[in-house]
Chains A and B, each alone.
Chain A
């Protein structure tokens, strides 16, 4: 009983995450799938909060919910009406894939139950210390991966611009100058 009580936040968050993840996979309307990703990501953010990783709660909301998901919804709306929700959304390989995934899940379960778990005695630092350490490690110990990640992001930025640019783009209309506006002197 006591154990259930203390695990209650975890149970709620995991139910939220897994439930909405299942809906994302099951639902036929793709825009609904996008919307159901929202509670799923928020659930993961809640789990981060339970793990005392406060910085990542905020980053999860900021990046996954605030940016990635919005981009996806945007792309969904740009390519709308192509995927009719009444058509099947899945390909013909469902059965073998189902079997494969069950085997995979069983494998994960076997590994997890087979391991001897010891209780962690690691000290959890307060949020501001954690964030500070994270920043210092990014500049110090992890400087090289950090720079590589920034180069990657730059490459993605350039790539996205090249992709989004259509080949023969019409010249942008010049902005009207004040002189070009009709004279609006009161008579």
Chain B
């Protein structure tokens, strides 16, 4: 479908970022109740239970009812909390997640410019040149909300949850960044739109040139490292130590009630959507169709489909695996994932250098090298 540049008085090229803003916000915020419902239904199916079935057909309105309940609940402020920080914490959880969504390109539209040239324009709020670093920076901000919530609640369970979370997020961020850098090496760009465009095309006309299939299996290893690290980053099972209900009541949000609790909840799902979006764009070709003969399906459907696949994996993993012990979590992050990610990064750089000998000694290599050494350097606790 090709859209002309001027529809009536509206310049489509100028309007696209605004459409993208609305789409991202609406998608993330409106999808959360749906996600909660999907999660409960799927977990119930896996565990051979009935799941939600009282409100609406097949329990569909259950999360709406939950939302209404949370909205009307009393907003409790525990004694001796640090008020400013206590109120700030939920905001700091959800804002970085929504802001990171701004840099993820989720579709592409073909627009016929006034000059008659047809140009593909990516649907993204801000086509940031160093988009992937931007997203990394914002996701690293999310830990603040959790640490602040844990500290401000004046509750030992919350504090332990906050401490656990900060240690966990810092540890897994290293492996995650190194895995992301592998993708950056493969595509020679930090710009997510370029990264997705690079993944167009097929080998033998059938195997998509997604990053996950690139570089003789190295892409797949990096993808797996990323997927594990992203689960840990979002504090989801089996890495949900910060809110382990059997030992820490509810971890960092023990003392939060009403809408503030709901915002923590929404923040968790929003960050799940964001990291899944990164996985889609970075490893699984964003809006690129799986097979060439399926290219008639619009890009955004492909993107959402892939995104939802990751959400389903999240839910599946949650329903299947038991929670890790904390020292096992740390040793997995530091002793297995991080060395593995370093080796993969090295091999990817090697293959890349061998494949493109004519290039001047690569700038992307340097960028990756730089970011890698800094990332490793700074969080060594």
Contacts and interface: CB of A to CB of B under 8 A. Distances in A.
Say if the two chains contact directly (CB < 8 Å). yes
B190 interface: yes
Interface in B118-165: 129-130, 133-134, 136-138, 140-141, 143-144, 147-148, 151, 159, 162-163
Contacts of B190: 128, 131
Contacts of B318: none
B148 A35 contact: yes
B166 A131 contact: no
A62 B137 contact: yes
Contacts of A31: 151
A61 B133 CA distance: 10
Given A31-B151, A156-B380, A160-B381, A61 B363 contact: no
A54 B129 contact: yes
A153 B365 CA distance: 19
B278 interface: no
A76 B151 CA distance: 11
Interface residues of B, number: 49
B356 to A, nearest CB: 15
A149 B369 CA distance: 12
Contacts of A58: 130, 133-134, 136-137
A153 B129 contact: no
Interface stretch (A64-72, A91-99, A108-116): A64-72
A70 B373 CA distance: 18
Contacts of B173: 66-67
A77 B148 CA distance: 11
A116 B31 CA distance: 59
A25 interface: no
Contact of B147 (A32, A63, A73, A78): A73
A59 interface: yes
Interface of A: 31-32, 35, 38, 54-55, 58-59, 61-63, 65-68, 70-71, 73-74, 77-78, 126-128, 131-136, 138-140, 146, 149-150, 153, 156-157, 160-161, 164, 172-173, 175
Interface of B: 82, 85, 129-130, 133-134, 136-138, 140-141, 143-144, 147-148, 151, 159, 162-163, 166-167, 169-170, 173, 190-191, 325, 327-328, 360-367, 369-371, 373-381
20 contacts: A58-B133, A61-B138, A61-B141, A62-B133, A62-B137, A62-B374, A63-B378, A71-B378, A73-B151, A73-B166, A77-B162, A77-B163, A127-B130, A134-B370, A135-B370, A153-B376, A156-B380, A172-B327, A175-B325, A175-B328
